[in-house]
Structure 1
Amino acid sequence: MDLCKVLTQRITETANGQEIDDMRGEIARYRHDITGYEADNRGISAELRELKSRSGQ
């Protein structure tokens, strides 16, 4: 492996490591939101079931 390939690989690994850290941070920030969205979805599903039952479907 030549020096250019080695350096490119190390830069890529470093960038990927930083991206992974950034993604972990985003995941942590959005966990609370996801829980809220799930609750919203349950409410919407209940409303949809009610509307379907009213319309006879």
Structure 2
Amino acid sequence: MNAQPQFITNANGEKTAVILPIADYQELMEDLADLAAIAERKDEPNIPFEAALSEIGL
């Protein structure tokens, strides 16, 4: 993240929204997509690193 976020407040001074640079927003969205992919695969079996290398021919 590059810049400090700016906040929008209501009449009581409570933060209700945030303004971010578009690059920071896009980075957050990519991180969210990565976390969703990890969550979807959490129950898949693990294999040892050497076995994975063998499977792809390395």
The TM-score bracket by the shorter chain reads 0.3 to 0.5
Q: Which has the larger radius of gyration?
A: 1
* Structure richer in helix, relative to its length: 1
Q: Normalization by structure 2: what TM-score? A: 0.41
* Structure richer in strand, relative to its length: 2
Q: Which has the higher contact order (CA 8 A, sep 6+)?
A: 2
Q: Normalization by structure 1: what TM-score? A: 0.41
